[in-house]
Amino acid sequence: MKILVLGPGGREHALVRTLLADPDVTQVDAAPGNAGIAAEVPVHQIDANDPEEVVALAQRLGSDLVVIGPEAPLAAGVSDALRAVHVPVFGPSAAAAQLESSKVFAKQVMTVAGVSTAASVHAKTAEQVRAACVEFGAPYVIKDDGLAAGKGVVVTEDLAAALAHAESCFASGSTVVVEEFLDGPEVSVFVIADGTPDGAVALSPAQDFKRIHDDDQGPNTGGMGAYTPLDWLPENFTEQVLDQVARPVLAEMDQRGTPFLGVLYCGLAVTTRGIRVIEFNARFGDPETQPVLSRLTTPLGQLLLAAARSELAERPELTPRFTDSSAVAVVLASPGYPGTTRTGAVMTGIADAEALEKVAVFHAGTAANDSGEYLSAGGRVLAVVGQGDTLAQARQRAYQGLELIHLEDGQYRTDIARRAVAGEIQLP
């Protein structure tokens, strides 16, 4: 089959590589891709958020499947346009993608579906934000209601900082959701859904690290690292997530006439009161995708095509399976990220890192100059993934690879998966 992957980042690079490993996949194209993706498959410089441009490219390529990586094309209705011309697509409709594009919508769906989540207030004024903060107490959790590329959430003990974030959201024309803080470790679970009530399977859980600095200090980012599997979770955790979270939400979406077909990213907290939903996304998460797919042994192209055709329930052989190894991803970011970033610097050592045993580099914000050198071209530049028989070995390999890569004043966290390796993560 021929597959077109939409998106420019590390998640899409991981998708491309994993699809290339599927024996049923004969060709992979990407749009717009990045320098790392361009070194492996043909890339096409179109606006991936423009439904007409995407449809034209998919038809010209004769794509058997289009896989949508980021959230913006989903919100723009790209999947709807592809389905209208009978091109199979893995990604929800714009209506179903509201589970990510509107925090208020997601809360409404969870309420009707009986899914446990944080108590919240939808606030449209500073006075409402202040009142909700006083009601819930610190730490204060303020979320932009709309899409914010993973950076629309502020969690802080500082009431003034919470109010300032809310004001910035209001200034951009959005509203905010104020939530109670959820105790307990956070977990990410990707659920592959085929738009039918019984068609849902879960991938291996992962844990990501949102703050820019070690020990979860500094502002939120799109994600600075992740690891999988999570040995501290109970063995039946993914089945609990399917039963308590994903299937009720998918059933409610079907009941509303907006069936969900794609990745339902479940951002969860394992609290003293059980599993609670922090947020939903309507696509693979980044950087969790990189380590999760590194361990996947089920053919990804066949899995996603079966979902796009609403055939998952009929294809038990495509139930996701994984190696017994562990995988750790560490993100290298540009100086200044997640604020005003400095880009355009030459990077060295990527090939040296990839030459190491069980080490892979996934490009995110990269470009290439006329000499073939890689340049930083975004906030998050790349992720180094190490695999190993143990989490400690995987972590050691990821950092060994990262240390070979040079980006002037580049940033990365030194504590990805450190507490898990030390056995310090306890379920409440």
Asked whether the predicted pLDDT for residue 390 surpasses 60, the reply is: yes
The predicted-structure confidence for 364-376, as pLDDT tens digits, reads as follows 999 999 999 999 9
Per-residue pLDDT reduced to its tens digit, 42-88 = 999 999 999 999 999 999 999 999 999 999 999 999 999 999 999 99
Q: Is the pLDDT of residue 400 over 90?
A: yes
Instruction: Tell me which residue of 88, 91, 68, 74 sits closest to 12, measured CA to CA.
Output: 68
Cα 39 to Cα 36, 108, 299, 362: the distances in Å are: 5, 44, 22, 12
Give the integer Cα–Cα distance in Å for 302 and 174.
Answer: 39
pLDDT the model gives residue 30 = 98
By the 8 A CB rule, do 224 and 416 touch?
yes
The pLDDT of residue 246 is: 97
3-class DSSP state of 201? strand
Q: Is 313 exposed, middle or buried (0-12, 13-18, 19+ CB in 10 A)?
A: middle
Q: What is the mean pLDDT of residues 224-246?
A: 97
CB 284 within 8 A of CB 190: yes
Residue 86's region, left for phi above 0, alpha for psi from -120 to 50, else beta, is: left
Task: Give the model confidence (pLDDT) of 125-175 as tens digits.
Answer: 988 898 888 888 888 889 887 765 555 788 888 898 999 999 989 888 888
**pTM for the complete prediction?**
0.91
Instruction: Report the helix count and the strand count for the chain, using DSSP H and E.
Output: 16, 22
Length of the chain: 428
> Do 192 and 201 meet the contact criterion of CB atoms below 8 Å apart?
yes
Quote the CA–CA distance of 102 and 177 in Å, as a whole number.
10
- How confident is residue 121, by pLDDT bands cut at 50, 70 and 90? confident
Q: What is the DSSP string of 148-180?
A: -TT--EEEES-HHHHHHHHHHHHHTT--EEEEP
Phi and psi at 132, nearest 5°, equal: -70, -40
- Expressed in percent and rounded to 5, the helix, strand and coil fractions of the chain are 35, 25, 40
Q: Quick one: pLDDT at residue 148?
A: 57
- Check residue 197 and give its pLDDT: 83
Mapping DSSP to helix (H, G, I), strand (E, B) and coil, where does residue 302 land? Answer: helix
Q: How far apart are CA 360 and CA 357, in angstroms?
A: 9
Cα separation, 54 vs 57, whole angstroms = 5
Give the sheet arrangement for strand 380-388, strand by strand: 207-208, 225-228, 326-333, 380-388, 359-363
Cα gap 190→194, rounded to integer Å: 13
Supply the pLDDT for residue 147. 63
Furthest-apart CA atoms within the chain: distance in Å? 58
